[in-house]
Amino acid sequence: AVVSTQSTGTDVECIDSELAMSLQWLLDNDISDVVELTFAVDRVEFGEQGSLELKPGGGDILVTEENKVEYVRLLSEHKMSGAIRSQIGSFLAGFHSIVPRRILAIFSADELELVLCGLNIIDRVDWRRNTQYVNFAERDDMIVWFWEILDGYTQEELFTLLKFITGYSRVPHGGFAQFASISSSGPIKISRGNGTEENLPKSSVCFNLLLLPVYSSKEMLRDRLHTAMTYASVGFDQC
């Protein structure tokens, strides 16, 4: 709605997976003499059951093999915008009062998502290049082990760790270098933490800071880090 794009069955999956599966089945199969649908949908408004035509005269137009693609498109658009048109209108009025429509016109939907939400893939090399160390040196065993462990992480695990350290679930547009400029927290930092090997790593999202006690082996670091980022909440105690 913010950027004018045509809704698809893939979009519908975000809000109604069962409907999305049904629409995909219509597209993938020959529905001749199988499905009895029209270009109209049931709706309830103020407690009253009614019908809404997806196109003029839709209540009398059967969905066929020839027009099923149009049906899927119109139903997807209805589910994603038409059914909540007034709510979308109110949202856009507020949104455009802050971000003028003329500015948004230069973006595609994917570009706007990137600007607003950040990158959905973590570049380990970029992360390492833009990390600072406090009371550690890059050649120290703990730091070498840390990056070796991250080399084996899935993208999901990397994002879990990122959120544990920074509170962010995405990387800012422009990469890890942008952490130094988007807030007063500064770049991501790894600092030597207090405590013994029995202690878990801690984080301080106010400073984009990971506090690592010194462990005697890479396996111990791997285990403690996984436990901390998976089961512990993000840290504010050092803020």
Encoded amino acid at 189, one letter: K
CB 189, CB 130: distance < 8 Å:
no
The pLDDT score that the predictor gives to residue 146 is 98
Catalytic residue among 14, 117, 206, 239: 206
Average the pLDDT over 31-41 and give the result: 88
Dmax over CA atoms of the chain, in Å, equals 75
The whole-model pTM stands at 0.59
C-alpha–C-alpha distance, residues 74 and 94, integer Å: 27
Give the pLDDT confidence score for residue 236 in this predicted structure: 47
Average pLDDT rounded to a whole number, residues 225-234: 82
The answer to whether residue 216 scores a pLDDT higher than 90 is yes
**Torsions phi, psi of 74, nearest 5?**
-65, -40
Whose CA is closest to 16, among 103, 105, 83? 83
CA distance 211 to 218: 16
**Taking 90 as the threshold, does the pLDDT of residue 227 lie above it?**
yes
How much is the pLDDT for 78?
A: 84
By C-alpha distance, which of 72, 37, 74 is closest to 55? 74
Instruction: State the average pLDDT over residues 43-53.
Output: 75
The separation between CA 38 and the C-alpha centre of its own chain, rounded to angstroms, equals 35
The whole-number average pLDDT for the span 105-123 is 74
* pLDDT confidence bin for 231, thresholds 50/70/90: confident
Of 7, 161, 154, 167, nearest to 74 by C-alpha is 7
State the Cα torsion 224-226-231-235 to the nearest 10°: 70
Does position 113 have pLDDT exceeding 70, yes or no?
A: no
How does pLDDT run across 129-176, given as a tens digit for each residue? 999 999 999 999 999 999 999 999 999 999 999 999 998 888 888 889
- Higher-confidence residue of 178 and 191: namely 191
Does pLDDT of 239 surpass 60?
no
pLDDT band at 235 (very low <50, low <70, confident <90, very high): very low
Beta strands across the sheet bearing 131-134: 131-134, 188-192, 209-212, 202-204
Instruction: Respond yes or no: is residue 206 known to be catalytic.
Output: yes
86: Cβ–Cβ under 8 A, 6 or more apart, which residues? none
Least-confidence region, from 60-74, 102-116, 127-141, 203-217 = 102-116
pLDDT given at position 233? 54
